[in-house]
Chains A and B, each alone.
Chain A
Amino acid sequence: MKRFLSKENLPVMATVLVCVLLYLGAGLKFPGFFSTRVPMNLLSDNAFLGVVAVGLTFVILSGGIDLSVGSLVGLSGILIAHLTTHAGWHPALAIGATLLVGITVGWVQGVLIAKFEIAPFLATLGGLFFCRGVALWISQESITIEHPFFKQLALFTIPVSGGASVTVGTLAFLVVVTIAIWMGRHTLFGRTVYAIGGNKASAKLMGLEVDKTLLSVYALSGFCSALGGVLYSIYTSSGNAVAGTGMELDAIAAVVIGGTLLSGGYGSVFGSFVGVLILGIIQTGISYQGTLSSWWTRIAIGILLLVFMLLQRGLVRLSGASKNSSG
């Protein structure tokens, strides 16, 4: 118990608190929130964003940034749709190939960043343009996927009490989050990521494999984005080249709200998970409200981001461990 309440966990605790308060507040206003259906929908509606945010968490923990995630989601979706509907591949094969493409894109970005020391911002900006361009090249129109296997995936549900159900997206989201939390806390890879984010030079001097780990981090983020694209295409039963536009921002916002410092070295996958839920609750609450327009979502997210950054700033100052933030 003491470990959970330590000063280190304060930002995550604040995030959890905000999440609970938001949920309770929304629930008091709209009683529908307290049914099992809303939480289950929160998980399945935000599954692709959540999976993307998990991959991005590792990138940000390592002190980098990945701007390519949103367009990789779009590329993955359109690739699956094209391969199954136009090229006649079996969806399972198409999904496998797409995940490989995601890993490759991430890996190439990793090479540029780790081996040639190109700023992560620029290397992944290149990735953003590249993926969106290729996606639009494949097809500018959205392609529906009508393969029976794919339909099965889309319609597969495990019923839970109260008419709610667990979808493929929810399952994948929860599995990815669980594995990622374990990876971040208990594996050599995860601890190395934290070390690099804390201080890259020290990590190198400690004999940690910095370059190799950075490569894996970006490949992992590529994989997660591709998986996000797969979930998105299952969710919509189609592929769309412009899907995921601006998603990198939502994902970054979720990670920051989850208490991860953008300068790296500090944060958690669990925090990002809660961050995604917060974004989802805001969105659902505003759509329940009806009279508030959708742009209030963006403003609300912006205000929340500001509050959390000020909170982090205050904590960092309090603990006296002022990090030299550059860039």
Chain B
Amino acid sequence: MKRIPPNLVAPLCILAAILLFDLFFSPGFFHLAFINGRLQGSLVDILNRAAPVQILSVGMTLVIATGGVDLSVGAVMSISGTVAALLLSRAEASNAKASVPQVIGLAMGAALVCGIWNGILVTFVDLQPIVATLLLMVAGRGLAQLLSDGQIITFSSPDYGNVARGATFIVPNPVWIAIGFGLVVAALMRRTSLGLFLEAAGGNAVASRLSGIDVRWIKFAAYALCGLGAGIAGIIVSADIKAADANNAGLYLELDAILAVAIGGTSLRGGRFSLIGSAIGAILMQALTTTILSRGVPPAATLVLKAAVVVGVCLFQSARFTEWQASRRSQTS
């Protein structure tokens, strides 16, 4: 058996601790039932609800590996959700039946354009990633509201709703989508040399350029993929509530996604990355949230605990903290 990579030890331990806690203190947490031909229970619920952030965090991992960050994913989610809802509601208003694959394709296309825009600003205009993506984060929601005219757009298309609410082979669709997106990206990264180039670009951009890698196109691809992922996440969220709320869809999810990446052991300074780590990070946070909610603790406490997790994980990964602890230990002994 292969050994567990060191970056996964901390998040897996925390995840195990949370589940262990639930085993003892949350009765019925591990209960799984078949209802209407699909699995239901807290565990499935965690995976289902973690799916959007998981998809975001996969794209975010690539961007962070290049040494950047994408703050706009939440806004891009609201744009793709709004585009989809707009197309569906327009078709329904004229009693036509909108083709769901076409709607999904257009929504993803809109998100891809956003990702490409970010990519151009970062690589070819050479803006700092935080600023470049801040732009779309600020203006993106404005654009989505412009499209929706400030309204929450609702629709009734059951086929589109199925994207988030349905299940295939007893498992909810979002879980499949998250796994699928993760596998495709992982295959792109690990079965081709793209992943290696990405790590090289993030590790040392100058050295990679000197060794013949066109860093700009690598970075560009990372931002484009991140935008695409945000689009998929936006589609899931809008399909789940059968509406698009340009103001609140994906609000603060960029922070959750960055957090998931950090928990998964990818350094925010760029370089080596772990896609599976980020996926585990996203699941860990959802497990934490679900556990807190099922214990009847006020939801506000989730935020405080999230803060504790951020700081805890960062301290754990900080070399300075380890040194400081070691020096204290040697002083006391």
Contact = CB atoms under 8 A, between A and B. Distances in A.
Interface string A95-129: 00000000000000000100111110111011111
Interface in B270-324: 270, 298-308, 310-311, 314-315, 318-321, 324
B143 interface: yes
Contact of A133 (B130, B135, B303, B324): B303
Contacts of B139: 298-299, 301-303, 305
A326 B67 contact: yes
Interface stretch (A11-19, A47-55, A248-256, A268-276): A248-256
Nearest to A325: B128
Contacts, number: 149
B309 to A, nearest CB: 8
B105 interface: no
A118 B320 CA distance: 9
A158 to B, nearest CB: 35
Given A132-B303, A293-B145, A327-B69, A305 B135 contact: yes
A128 B256 CA distance: 12
B134 A296 contact: no
A326 B126 CA distance: 11
B310 A126 contact: yes
B141 interface: yes
User: Interface of chain A, helix or strand or loop or mixed?
Assistant: helix
Interface string B225-267: 0000000000000000000000000000001001100100000
B190 interface: no
Interface stretch (A134-142, A161-169, A174-182): A134-142
Contact of A137 (B143, B149, B300, B311): B300
A122 B262 contact: yes
Interface size class of B (residues with CB under 8 A): 35 or more
B325 to A, nearest CB: 10
Contacts of A65: 130
Contacts of B301: 133, 137
- Candidate in A116, A122, A129, A249 with the most chain B CB atoms within 10 angstroms: A129
A132 B252 CA distance: 12
Interface stretch (A27-35, A213-221, A306-314): A306-314
B100 interface: no
A249 B255 contact: no
Contacts of B324: 115-116
Given A129-B306, A327-B67, A252 B255 contact: no
A327 B130 contact: yes
A278 interface: no
Contacts of B134: 249, 252-253, 256, 305
Contacts of B125: 310, 313
Given A249-B138, A295-B146, A302-B135, A133 B69 contact: no
A136 B321 CA distance: 31
A133 B318 contact: no
Contact of B319 (A67, A117, A125, A253): A117
A299 B137 contact: no
- Candidate in A123, A127, A327 with the most chain B CB atoms within 10 angstroms: A327
Interface in A159-213: none
Given A301-B139, A313-B126, 11 more contacts: A115-B320, A116-B321, A118-B311, A121-B69, A126-B307, A127-B307, A129-B255, A129-B306, A129-B307, A299-B146, A302-B135
30 contacts: A112-B311, A112-B314, A116-B315, A118-B315, A119-B268, A122-B268, A123-B311, A125-B255, A133-B300, A136-B298, A136-B303, A137-B298, A137-B304, A249-B138, A253-B138, A293-B146, A295-B145, A295-B146, A297-B142, A298-B138, A298-B141, A298-B142, A299-B139, A301-B138, A302-B142, A305-B138, A309-B131, A309-B132, A310-B125, A327-B270
The 8 closest A-B pairs by CB, nearest first: A302-B139, A133-B303, A298-B142, A136-B300, A130-B307, A133-B304, A295-B145, A126-B310
Interface of A: 65, 67, 112, 115-119, 121-123, 125-130, 132-137, 140, 249, 252-253, 256, 262-263, 293-299, 301-303, 305-306, 309-310, 313, 325-327
